[in-house]
Structure 1
Amino acid sequence: MNVELSRHDGDTRIPVIVLTGFLGAGKTTVLRQMLEQPGYADHAVLINEFGAVGIDQQVVTPISPDVVLLDSGCLCCQIRGELKEALVGMLDQRARGVIPRFRGMVIETSGLAEPTPILATMQADPLLSHQLRVARTVTVVDAINGLATSEACLDEERAIWWHQVAAADAILISKGDLDAEAAHRLRLLLQTRLPGVPVMMRVPGQGVPDFDDLAFGQADSGWPEAGAMRDDHVAVDRMGHASIDDASWRAAPVQGPGLPALVQSLVLTAVTPIDWTAFGVWLSALLHVHGRAILRVKGILDIGEPYPILINGVQHQIHAPMHLDAWPGQGRRSTLVLIVVGIDPADLCVSFQRFVHAEAMPMQLDG
């Protein structure tokens, strides 16, 4: 785990929004609306196929076989081959003045793709990580088919869907106007399984939200609150939140009715400062042992400094931790969200309990 702290203040890297979602979820409709909004006029958009977005009537200037300039001012690049090559090509043309100096990028993934490899590509490659930063992963979920896909008989299909939603910094539910009840049940599922992730409804006839303004870690972004204290040490509510007020604690996340048994979320909150070095050791070991079974890690940590530290990661890819300028509505305490598949959350509770006692000593995690 990279424990070097950073801020986005003064960060000159180009922010990237990753737009993902399962087949038929409505990503193309959302992307088309984004292209029409003035806020994205100076963005570059990377897509898999020009025809699918319906940009034929918007093209002003074909810059190359793979890049066109739309009348909105947005650059559209068709990905042929590897994503890295497309990104490097766009950055090179931008630097040489072949294309306008776009200030942001949007990458649309394939409906059967997990976003993690895309995030890893931009993080692991020195050239890309020096010029690009992942600002946000937005997942579009279909209200009509979302619940069925989340419980699909085909393990691969279900796994892709859950990896897409677990990677989200924001979720946009589409087609809710066609089945309001299904949209409500899907929203409840997502809010229960993904605590702290904004879940929004797409309203036909209205533009899509300004995803650039959805600041991760803000007070209104849905950070979970712990329930009533129990046993003088732990609070556990119906969503599986656990609150720790000293080093002696236990917790058991609660499985909601009708939800997939393999995918569970655990929210830990600690009211005393966390040792940053010890936390880095614990998280690195956790990701090393469990790998892809840790779908999502995010948290706001009190490490004994005036302001909190924000961590955010998908599977084994952890973004550079950031300083926040203020504490969110939860107040001054550490909140850690883990979304896991096929792991007993009680084991994670025990592991974290050992970390609380460890004081930066390495720990043995059971595989």
Structure 2
Amino acid sequence: MSSPSPPTGLNGPIPLTVLTGFLGAGKTTLLNALLRQPALANTAVLINEFGEIGLDHLLVERLDGDTVLLNAGCLCCTIRGDLMKALDGLWDRVLAGQPVARVVVETTGLADPAPILHTLMSDPRLALRFVLDGDVTLVDAANGAATLDTQPEAQRQAAVADRLVLTKTDLATGGQVAALTARLRALNPIAPILTAAAGEIAAADLLDAGPFDTGAKLPDVARWIGAATPHHHHHHHDSNRHDARIQALCLEFDRPLNWSGLAGWLEMLAMTRGASVLRMKGILDLVGETRPVVVHGVQHLFHPPTRLAAWPEDAPRRSRLVFILRDLEPKVVEDGLRAFLAAADQESALGSD
């Protein structure tokens, strides 16, 4: 008789998706629709929302609608304690044989997602059990522009997303949707902007959205390095739009980069201005490497580089870095990076003489 299969999660980290969006964006409606799809079978859900009187916070864990576990706490306020405790409890259930194929964390509409992403990426114990599969941010098409004008949390939610999903488009005019799409693209040039029709969207559009893994995710690589973007661009907004504090910087390099220069600058940036780096992603063509190398980070944490399987055949080999910055001029980042790269190139040339 064959031995029983190990519980899901023991063969590798369980993918975890963060679902966020400002109050009223339709997160719970979309989540309920997603959970009815086969792709999200055996999904554990952690829900973080304000209590009825706006004072108490509840972290709700629901697995297939059968079990509900309430823990006091707020993801945006006591992220490490409450989220880690909930995930530890979930892992105990995995060890006990309960199948868990995926985790979705739905945050309160007032949550800043950056500390959540930082915790999921930085804790070594969690990293062995769960892998960040992406940050999905919902934006209300009818009220999104006004929300971005007045709510810094909404700006940060949009800026760090791996997927942006427009909801309630039936309540907005075509002009409103077009203007909001352009504004979101300025805030976040790397996230696909999708539409949830009547509060529903295909689960496949939202899965595998996060930091690149070492598998052959060539379509994602092609999208990154083949994107029609200028060599670099900064985004500035009208003074009456408060998201002017958040800007995107995209850099492309056609020549292979020296890793020592890039790594030195990323380390310096994390130490000195890490709080201003809401998100960073990069696909790199490095000197001495035949395969694409991926880096990503949130605030003070920059992950070690990983190699992808190969470069796409139909896309040019080039490095592409995207920074989502808050209260930090893109030119400061670009000038510092280029200075470190130049110094590393000069040191390498002297060493070869």
Return the TM-score normalized by structure 2.
Answer: 0.78
How far off is 1:214 after superposition?
A: 4.2
Query: In the alignment, which residue of structure 1 is the partner of 2:148?
Result: 150
What aligned pairs does 1:111-122 form with structure 2 within 5 A after superposition? 111-122=109-120
Match of 1:278 among 261, 267, 283: 261
- Please say if 1:212 is aligned against 2:214: no
How far off is 1:254 after superposition?
A: 5.4
Q: Deviations over 1:196-218 (max 9, x none)?
A: 21111111274344222447534
- Please say if 1:174 is aligned against 2:167: yes
How many matched pairs? 310
* Equivalent pair of 1:15/1:135 in contact (CA under 8 Å): yes
Match of 2:190 among 196, 215, 230: 196
* Aligned Cα root-mean-square deviation (Å): 3.0
* Equivalent pair of 2:250/2:323 in contact (CA under 8 Å): yes
Return the TM-score normalized by structure 1.
Answer: 0.75
Query: In the alignment, which residue of structure 2 is the partner of 1:359?
Result: 344
* Equivalent pair of 2:114/2:278 in contact (CA under 8 Å): no
How far off is 1:172 after superposition?
A: 0.7
Letter paired with 2:146: A
In 1, Cα distance between equivalents of 2:238 and 2:123: 42
How far off is 1:173 after superposition?
A: 1.0
Letter paired with 2:40: Y
Match of 1:255 among 236, 257, 263: 236
What aligned pairs does 1:224-303 form with structure 2 within 5 A after superposition? 224-227=227-230, 235=231, 240=233, 253=234, 255=236, 260-303=243-286
Aligned to 1:172, the other structure's residue is in SS state strand
Letter paired with 1:283: L
**Which structure shows the higher helix fraction?**
2
Moved more, 211-220 or 22-31: 211-220
In 2, Cα distance between equivalents of 1:113 and 1:219: 32
* Equivalent pair of 1:277/1:360 in contact (CA under 8 Å): no
Match of 2:299 among 307, 310, 315: 315
Q: 1:69 to 1:135 in 2, by over 3 A?
A: closer
- Please say if 1:345 is aligned against 2:343: no
Letter paired with 1:170: R
Q: 1:76 to 1:169 in 2, by over 3 A?
A: farther
Query: In the alignment, which residue of structure 2 is the partner of 1:41?
Result: 41
Query: In the alignment, which residue of structure 2 is the partner of 1:161?
Result: 154
In 1, Cα distance between equivalents of 2:199 and 2:106: 22
Aligned to 1:268, the other structure's residue is in SS state strand
* Equivalent pair of 2:283/2:292 in contact (CA under 8 Å): yes
* Equivalent pair of 1:44/1:76 in contact (CA under 8 Å): no
What aligned pairs does 1:73-152 form with structure 2 within 5 A after superposition? 77-81=69-73, 82-97=82-97, 100-152=98-150
Q: 1:292 to 1:69 in 2, by over 3 A?
A: closer
Letter paired with 2:336: S
How far off is 1:272 after superposition?
A: 1.0
Aligned to 1:20, the other structure's residue is in SS state strand
* Equivalent pair of 2:45/2:63 in contact (CA under 8 Å): no
Query: In the alignment, which residue of structure 2 is the partner of 1:336?
Result: 321
How far off is 1:303 after superposition?
A: 0.9
Unaligned runs of 5+ in 2: 1-9, 53-58, 74-81, 213-219, 348-353
Q: Deviations over 1:140-168 (max 9, x none)?
A: 1111221112121xxxx32x112211221
In 1, Cα distance between equivalents of 2:49 and 2:269: 38
Letter paired with 1:27: K
Aligned to 2:236, the other structure's residue is in SS state coil
